Amino acid sequence: MTLSRRSILGRTLAGLAVFGLASPTHAKMAGKSVAVIGAGMAGLAAAGALARAGADVTIYEARTRIGGRVLTSTLWPDLPCDLGASWIHGPIGNPIKKLAKAAGAATVRTRYESSAAFAGGKTVYNEIDPWEWTEVARVAAMRAPADMSLKDALIAQRVMKVKTATDIEVLAANVHLAIEHEYGGDWGSLSARYFDMGEEFAGEDVLFPEGYGALATYAAKGLTIKTGAEVTRLTPLDKGVKIEFEGGQSIRADAAIVTLPLGVLQSGRVAFDQPLARKRQAAIDTLGMGLLNKVFLRFDKELDLPAVDWFEKLDAPRKLFPEWVNLAHVLGAPALLGFNAAASADDLERASDNETASAATDALRAMFGSRFPAPIASQITRWRADPLALGSYSFHAVGAAKSARDDLAGGDWDGRVVFAGEACSADHPSTVHGAWMSGLEAAREV
């Protein structure tokens, strides 16, 4: 299905040029056909830039919707819930902030400093800062003959004078809260050398009270997008590339931009009839696909909670729902948002909705007392089980080269196929703005 008419293309893309989507207005790509595989933010950015440059560009999306891992649920009409990406991380100079402004999307600031930690049903002060430990471990790993996992590097450095199983449990819990929740990967899989290589934009993070999906909708205006079109095979031709779809249909294009999630590339759901460059295939094989899942809980009345943005749970089980966003404070809604990451999130995906909501409620009662009310409704994500994502976002795993993301990005088959997406962003991996910027770079390469 085509989402919008070509008749509005010129007007829309002229407006998009102000925030870096579009190429110069002269038709560099006139007469050239480009297929963009995936209507996530990388694909939308690439297609918009190419259309502005005069290409005949079509996005092919396997889902029946656009946005990819940007997904706003409207199940609760008065409280849109972002089941995928939520924040602009560092809005100053961030292209997604410019996109949000162009789209007229409202934003709300959140601050990590606005937080409270709980243990034993009481507010406590968490004196442990795992980021100090990880820097010690990283320096040691850089001096070692070979890379190692963050877990092995931390324990080897005895950053907490680890002696007993309890010491390791406390260490693991704090790393889980601060680092595994950030990167989506288990500390036994994260590269001690390279897990934290990305750069950051400045400024306090903001989220979207009306949903992140509005940005994808805005960026898609004027573009030709065919949904329900799952690509199964790419074949290089003497000139261009052949693209086959589930159901047996096929097309030909002068070039293809592949913006599939890393997990999908790793799964083999899409076949490449000619081997990819050795470094690119090695990057696909060795980078990790992480997991961060969400649980939104809604309540029937206003919650009596501390007026902060974030809550941390330091009680056992330490690695189950240790982090919450206080939507009552941030958005004025009787709701809370809890997170699970890495191995604990994988474990919880096997639970039913009722079991998951019950575990989340137990976590809240561990923080706020046994009288904390039960939710009246919930929304739960399972990104690993999603066959068109197979995880939330990429992380730098042990065994992946320092250059792995650069190796994954860019052109193959003499430029007939170009790769983009958050996993291709060396400077801003695992972010929406990283995906967007990589899409623009892929368009430039084409």
Instruction: Check residue 179 and report its DSSP letter.
Output: I
Burial of 15 (0-12, 13-18, 19+ CB in 10 A): middle
Peptide bond into 80 cis (omega under 30): no
pLDDT at 398: 97
Q: How far apart are CA 314 and CA 209, in angstroms?
A: 28
pLDDT at 317: 81
Which amino acid appears at position 64 of this protein? T
Neighbours of 28 (CB within 10 A): 14
> In whole angstroms, how far apart are CA 317 and each of 128, 172, 176, 344, 369?
18, 12, 12, 10, 15
Asked whether residue 380 carries a pLDDT value surpassing 80, the answer given is yes
Length of the chain: 446
CA atoms within 13 A on the CB side of 352: 3
Q: Give the residues across from 61 on adjacent strands.
A: 227
More confident residue, 125 or 444: 444
Rounded average pLDDT over 334-341: 97
Q: How far apart are CA 396 and CA 402, in angstroms?
A: 9
Which amino acid appears at position 27 of this protein? A
> What are the sequence ranges of the domains in the chain?
6-68+210-286+400-445
Q: How confident is the model at residue 28 (pLDDT cuts 50, 70, 90)?
A: confident
**183 neighbors 423 (Cβ within 8 angstroms):** no
Q: What is the pLDDT of residues 160-209, one digit of tens each?
A: 566 677 777 778 888 999 999 999 999 999 999 999 999 999 999 999 99
pLDDT at 159: 61
**438 neighbors 425 (Cβ within 8 angstroms):** yes
Q: How far apart are CA 290 and CA 345, in angstroms?
A: 10
Quote the pTM value. 0.92
Average of per-residue pLDDT values in the chain: 91
Q: How far apart are CA 89 and CA 205, in angstroms?
A: 5
Q: Which 3 state secondary structure label does DSSP give 33?
A: strand
pLDDT at 161: 65
Q: What angle do CA 260, 38, 53 make, to 5 degrees?
A: 120
Rounded average pLDDT over 54-64: 97
Q: How confident is the model at residue 11 (pLDDT cuts 50, 70, 90)?
A: very low
Please state, for a pLDDT cut of 70, what percent of the chain lies above it.
93
What is the assigned CATH class of domain 6-68+210-286+400-445? alpha beta
Asked whether residue 144 carries a pLDDT value surpassing 70, the answer given is yes
In whole angstroms, what separates CA 114 from the centre of its chain? 23
pLDDT at 127: 72
Q: What is the DSSP string of 357-419?
A: HHHHHHHHHHHH-TTPPPPSEEEE--TTT-TTTSSSEEE-BTT--TTHHHHHSEEETTTTEEE
| Backbone CA torsion sign across 312, 316, 320, 321 | negative
Which amino acid appears at position 334 of this protein? P
